[in-house]
Amino acid sequence: MTFLSDLQIVAGALDRQVADAHAGAVPVLAQRPMSAIIEDLQLDRFARRGGLEGDALRRFMDAYLPTIINLHQPGYMGHQVAVPHPSAAIGALIDGLTNNPMPIYEMGPGAAAIESFVLDWMLKKIGWTPPEPGHRTGKGVSGGVLTHGGSLANLTALIAARSSVRPDAWRQGSPGDLALMAPGNNHYSIERAAGILGLGTDNIYRVPTDARGAIDPRSLPATLAHIRRDGKTPMAMVANACSTAVGIYDRLRPIGEFCREQGIWLHVDGAHGASALLSPVYRHLLDGVELASSLTWDAHKMMRTPSVCAALLVRDQRTIDTAFDQDASYLIHDRDQPGFDFLHRTVECTKSGMGLKFFLTLGALGEEGLAWYVERQYGLAAQAYDYLKGLGWVETPVVPQANILCFRVAGSDARQLELRKRILAEGDFYITSTLFEDQRYLRLVFMHPDTTLDDVKRYMPRGNADHRPRGSRAALHKAILTERPSRGVGARSASARRIARLEYKVSITPLSP
Ligand SMILES: Cc1ncc(COP(=O)(O)O)c(C=O)c1O
């Protein structure tokens, strides 16, 4: 067997799978017990004897693919996980085989150059000044690093914040008086970072929020006064762009102005929503982001890149250059080299060439194609919200700002979960669920570029038939049947639309006869 023949087997199987998923010919998810999967895949046999290649590999793929969750099925409306662009998957393959862990330049000059380029591209989208090409050091410029995920980017941001407030903390340990300011709905990785850093989660002071869960900027002075009364020092303020559960953006300009006046590090968690920076239509949601000290921005959420690829970006690159105060003589030493080592900016030592996966998406779609994707998905959430509101028997807690839409039907929290279970068991759709203001909601996250309003309509009547008021069924069905399908949500240019339409055609063209 050769690499190429095995690759053809795998590529052919994936190609068919993606085409079937896209056509809705396979379920989004068909869960089976873990022990049955282990047995079917003959894991024990291959682990003992080897030989997983050629025809065995073909059979393995035949057994493996039915076990996956099919993100490429337009009924996938689940977690904030990218439906990868096929080019990004090719990037993952290239990175997998070449394996250039590039935190030190000589272990992957091309991958490091791509990381450097995509970071600078992101910095410009924020409105910050990247370093001169080829020079990643110096004052007055911004910087960043790619990390294995948004949680790690958030942790790295808070390490940099701590080091800017208490440079000695690296050697002497976290002093007991540091406090964080954050809304109660921040992603759990913020509490995790507080725990890891030794700040203690009890030292996160919750800033009051409005009914949608967005920070009330007028409340910030009172929260700060509270911290000071307790004899503590604010280490950082964390804001959401957007929140995980319901996708609401904090108002960054007044928050940023307050933090600047008070000399407080503002970290914006834009893991999901920073991609709105690409769109002239939605960029305003991050108005004021340039006032922040740091921003987390995941490519593996709204930029069609497979897991994992996230960025931590800082307004002053010296803050990330000094965050980790360490020596590793076998890696970090002065060298006359034509590139830059990212190693001192990351928790990770070995790191994958993540930039390649992302760049192949960017290079295929162009920034206009990515912007169009964001606009389409955000626009779809707005349309679906109007549709659900119009039904009259669905409760929606917030008007969506992103591509996240929550709703509940009449009945208890347990009823919502029961409904989700039923929808998942039918196999055509995958949706999630969240608590918001102590109530359980069903949650749609529109990640698939071909999900339409009709898909939402398809499961609503089925999923909720027994929750509608009596007598409304016929009227509802009539409304569904007569409503026109959505037309080009958020459409921008003809070329961007063409790119988005073509990508699945590319993915379903068989690679081998
Ligand atoms: C706002 C926010 N921050 C951070 C994260 C964590 O990112 P990751 O899953 O890449 O670690 C998420 C994930 O959903 C998120 O929504």
| Strands of the 310-314 sheet, one edge to the other | 143-147, 310-314, 294-298, 265-269, 233-240, 178-182, 204-206
**Which residues, in sequence order, are bridge partners of residue 433?**
442
What digits encode the pLDDT tens for the residues 351-388? 999 999 999 999 999 999 999 999 999 999 999 999 99
Q: How far apart are CA 248 and CA 251, in angstroms?
A: 10
- Count Cβ neighbours within 10 Å for each residue of 431-457 and write b for 16 or more, e otherwise: bbbbebeeebbbbbbbbbbebbbebbb
Centroid of ligand 1 to alpha carbon of 59 (angstroms): 35
The candidate with the shortest Cα–Cα distance to 192, out of 234, 148, 143, 159, is: 159
Nearest atom in ligand 1 to 273's CA: 1
**Which residue has its alpha carbon closest to ligand 1 atom 7?**
150
Domain 366-507, CATH = 3.90.1150.10
Task: Kindly list the protein residues whose Cβ atom lies closer than 6 A to any atom of ligand 1.
Answer: 80, 149-151, 154, 187, 189, 240, 244, 269, 271-272, 298, 310
Task: Give the pLDDT score at 330.
Answer: 60
Section 193-207 average pLDDT: 97
* Mutation to probe ligand 1, out of 186, 244, 267 (largest number of atoms < 8 A from CB): 244
Probe target for ligand 1 pocket from 79, 80, 148, 240, with the most ligand atoms within 8 Å of CB: 80
Position 132 scores a pLDDT of 84
Domain ranges of the chain: 3-69, 95-359, 366-507
Kindly provide the b/e burial profile for residues 263-283, where b requires at least 16 CB atoms within 10 angstroms of the residue's own CB. Answer: ebbbbbbbbbbbbbbbbebbb
33 CB-near residues (< 8 Å, 6+ apart): none
Q: How far is CA 381 from CA 75, 280, 358, 405, 477, in A?
A: 14, 18, 25, 6, 21
The class that CATH gives domain 95-359 is alpha beta
The answer to whether the CB of 154 falls within 8 A of the CB of 193 is yes
Condensed to tens digits (0 to 9), the pLDDT of residues 12-58 reads 999 999 999 999 999 999 999 999 999 999 999 999 999 999 999 99
User: Do 95-359 and 366-507 share a fold?
Assistant: no
Closest alpha carbon to 296 in 80, 92, 147, 136: 147
Residue 314 has pLDDT above 60, yes or no: yes
> What would the two tokens of residue 229 be?
């009364």
Convert the pLDDT of each residue in 115-152 to its tens digit.
999 999 999 999 999 988 766 666 789 999 999 999 99
Confidence check: pLDDT of 73 > 50: yes
Confidence bin at 333 (pLDDT 50/70/90): low
pLDDT score at 234 = 98
Q: Rounded to the nearest whole angstrom, what is the distance from the C-alpha of residue 269 to the centroid of ligand 1?
A: 8
